[in-house]
Structure formats: structure tokens, C-alpha cells
Amino acid sequence: MSRPKSLKYIAIVAVLAAAACNSGEAETPVPAPSPTVTATPTPVPVAPQGGGLLDEGFAPIAFDLAGTSWLVIAIDGEPLAERYSDLATVHFTQSMLHWQGCNYHEGLYVRSRTSFAAGRTVATQIACPDSTPDPAMAQVLGGRPLIGSNSEGKLQLAVEGRRLTLSQIDKRYNEPPAPPLEAGPFRLMTAEGGTHPPVLSFKGGTFSIWLDCPGAVSGQARVDDGRMRTGKVEASQCETHRPTARRALETFFKGSPTIARGPNGELMLSDGDTIIQGQQCYPDPSGCAHAAAEPTV
């Protein structure tokens, strides 16, 4: 399935900084996204297990949806066909979430405990009728929903006050490859980062984070099967005016976070509570020029 030719970025997840490195030319040029990261992790509540969010007959399950596609058949128990004549669909690749209501949307997602977390999204911008399912779909898909299934194989995604009921369909999306992990470092945006946000780099089975000094946090790293498996993670004693941010990043990366990367160098990481987004400084390295990005481990 070809992608829509008029994509532009809209805010599904709050973007805190406008600076990001150039991620290269695409078929349809769009502005470089501005990734965000919470420097001092603030846990985001995950949907409770059950708790009345799911309809009767649906039981909570853990996320296992990569490679599947779904038709939205109901919103809040009301059949979608009664209010909206077009199809609404949701598609999961290994790292990308595609969904279509009135507009088409796509972006990274990562596993987050038993659910998933969606990142920033590109979308078409068509004027939609009042009956469009897009607001409800955005609320659920962007809210780390509780996932449930029933004996008929139907799926339910639910957040407080909103739920989608889905039926599986036979459709597949091709996932373009991401640039090589070591092709360039990743700029991570923090609220206090300003013009010198943290920079994450990988080399030879190790990772290193520049935060006012090279190797502020470093360790071993192996990226496979959607996870950044880390070991011997430690913070250096180099001088920084952001010690709280350094401790937070050390704790985050000790947890072997899940990882997703996009074809334009987009990055998403999750330790189950905190989401970190970033942008690879490749092929233009200027966005990370303030950092000594070579790993020091």
C-alpha cells in the first residue's frame, strides 16, 4: 500500500523542542520533527488491568500485535458503520503504527509493559465530517491502552472513557529499513536541554551519552528484537550542571528499554513508564555537533 503523498506533521504527542537534525530527503518533503525526552522521568499511568474499561467478554492480554491489521467496528460500543460510511483501520508493523480514519496517520510505537506507546505522527490533513472517528482513535491509540480480546478473536483497546473494538483483517504494510544504528548519533531533547540536548551514540557493542561531557552515561548495548539490552551501565563523574538529568538517564538505560527506529532516523525508547524520543543526526551531523559523540567505553 502506497503512502499518501501529502504528509505533514501534526502533534499527537506533545513536542517540546523545535530543533532536530536533518533526517534526509523523502519522496514528500516534510519539516524535520522535534523529538522530546523527559529528563527527569515522570511515570505515565498505564491502563489498569481490567478495572471496568473493557466490555463484558473481553479479557486483558499483553501486547502481541506486530504484523497484524485491524478494522475498527465499534467505538464505545456503538457500531462505527452507523455513523461513518468509510472504513477505519489500524495496522502494526514491527515498529510503525499506521491508522486510517478520515485522515491517514503513521508513526513509531514501542512496547510499554503490556501495552504500547505511540510516538509523534505524520498525517494527511483533510477536512473531516463531525462523524469522523479520528479524535476517538487518536485518544485511544495515543493513550497506552489496555488491550483485551474475546472468544471470537476480536480485539478491544481501551483508555478511561473511550474504547475501540477491532476485527482482524488480512493486510500488510511494508516497513522501510532504518539507517544503520552506528551511522550517526541521536539527538535527545530535554526540557532543559536548550541548544545542548543529550546525544546518544552507539559503537562496537557499546553506547555513550553526551550530557555536558562525553560519556556522562555509558555501558554495553545490544539492539535486537525491539529491545536495547544494556549492561555495565554507569554514570561518570565528569562535570555537568544537570546531575538530576544524568541520574535519570542512567536509571532509564539500566532497564534495557524497548526501542523502535524509523526510516528517517526517528527514535523511540521506553522503560515501561518513561518515553524518550530522538532523531538521528544522519546524514547531516550538524544537529549533534555540540557533542563529542564517540563512545568512551
**What are the residue ranges spanned by the domains of the chain?**
20-42+176-288, 59-169
CA 209 → CA 31, 156, 180, 234, 293, distances in Å? 26, 39, 18, 11, 7
> Does position 71 have pLDDT exceeding 90, yes or no?
yes
Q: In the CATH hierarchy, which fold is given to the domain comprising 59-169? A: Lipocalin (2.40.128)
Is 87 within 8 Å of 100 (Cβ atoms)? yes
For residues 9 and 114, the model is more confident at 114
Confidence of residue 194 (pLDDT cuts 50, 70, 90): confident
The rounded mean pLDDT for the chain is 85
Is 218 within 8 Å of 209 (Cβ atoms)? yes
Mean pLDDT for 246-264 is 96
Report residue 40 as a C-alpha cell.
527527569
Report residue 105 as a C-alpha cell.
496517520
Percent of the chain with pLDDT over 70: 79
pTM for this model (two decimals): 0.80
Topology match between the domains 20-42+176-288 and 59-169:
yes
Confidence of residue 296 (pLDDT cuts 50, 70, 90): very low
Mean pLDDT for 223-227 is 95
- CATH class held by domain 20-42+176-288: mainly beta
pLDDT of residue 195: 81
Mean pLDDT for 246-257 is 96
Mean pLDDT for 177-186 is 97
Burial label for 82, CB within 10 Å (0-12, 13-18, 19+), is exposed
Count of C-beta atoms within a 10 Å radius of residue 52: 8
> Does position 251 have pLDDT exceeding 90, yes or no?
yes
